[in-house]
Amino acid sequence: MHVDMDAFFVSVELRERPDLVGKKVIVGHPLGRSVVLSASYEARAVGVRSAMPMATALRLCPTAVVIEPRHQLYYQVSAQVMEVFNSITDTVEQLSVDEAFLDIRGALRRLGTPLEIGALIRSRISAEIGITASVGIAASKFVAKVASTRCKPNGMLLIEKEGTVAYLHTLPVEALWGVGVKTREVLARLGIFTVADVAATPVASLQKALGSTGPALHALSWGIDPRPVSTVRAEKSIGAEETFAQDTYDDEILTRELLRLSHRVAARLRLANLSGRTLALKIKYTDFSTITRSKTLGAGTDSAAQIYAGAVALLLALGTRPQSVRLIGVRIDQLESVDSAPLQFSLDPREDNNRSTEVVGDAIAARFGSAKIVPARLLKPRDSP
């Protein structure tokens, strides 16, 4: 079973803005060179897509309501979704904040048929969390993912094992995992436009054209995907980055953004009960050249104050910048569970106080949604009277 939330970020926002239900809504930063993070299906109907430049999206959909993202809230709702999944089966493979594979074989005797289990999941997510989900059910992970994609939004589709190949062969070639724009162009030059065309093409020909991807696509075209649902999915890193509306040399702007990103990363770490021992700073210049600098910390941290201090030190160590900065980002690597590797707190009481304030902020956001505690430096100035 593949369960995927529908327009996740937008759906979470509409819980508090029911007046916007049925309207064109985009989640993302409205200015500059930011991108669309999520779009309602009404906005998608006119061509708006995730990862599309916001400027392009607003040209396509000038009447859209744009909502600033609230990442910490989305991760909290994601945790609630995963709790529902884990109450159904112990075998859950989380793919992202809003989707997962579930092996439901062990739940059949307890909860009923696959369709009944899918209906239960959808009803609980709607009743308990206030958003909608689409459910694909099949004999393999790939086909279950195809099914959930084909029944969006707010639908459910069961592809029986015996009918898998027949169903797949009705689909366009881009339904196969790994077929993006470039691969589709290569296949088109070979006269391959559908999954059925891939299935009818010799493996040797596909391998010659696509390398190791060729045999994998051929197997998928026949519904062959033996991978089990894996419950082990350790995060390798947690990070956040931002593209500026205008490229900048200004240290005040750069460090202020580092402060905001540090708080976002730290909140995600604490929500996942993780700490990290390696801090990385990412800078992208006007010409799109990118540099990364990192440092290993003395102990694991989930503190925004410690992350920010380390990020600023890395920024200052770069010295004079050769160009203005287009993008800045912060990342924490070498993650480990706080339970297995407790945090080492500083002897400086101010650092402990900072983290305590952040934890209080987490609790406030969890209880009141949009409410949160942020450093005064991140508050938007009031308009003059």
- Residues annotated in the binding site, as ranges? 4, 98
Tokens of 142: 């790939």
d(CA 143, CA 154): 18
Residue among 13, 93, 99, 358 flagged as catalytic? 99
d(CA 278, CA 280): 7
99 part of the active site:
yes
Closest CA to 240 of 264, 208, 224: 264
Closest CA to 302 of 328, 267, 331: 267
d(CA 237, CA 269): 10
d(CA 11, CA 15): 7
Binding-site positions for Mg(2+): 4, 98
Q: Are strands 25-27 and 38-39 parallel, antiparallel or unpaired?
A: antiparallel
Closest CA to 148 of 118, 174, 172: 118
Residues 6+ apart with CB under 8 A from 192: 173, 198, 201
Tokens of 374: 């942020």
Residue where the block lists tokens 């289990």:
117
Backbone angles phi, psi at 258, to 5 degrees: -60, -35
Helix (H) or strand (E) holding 252: helix 251-271
> What are residue 100's DSSP bridge partners?
3, 94
Angle at 274 between CA 368 and CA 233, to 5 degrees: 105
d(CA 206, CA 181): 16
d(CA 266, CA 355): 10
Backbone angles phi, psi at 121, to 5 degrees: -60, -45
CB 114 within 8 A of CB 108: yes
Catalytic residues: 99
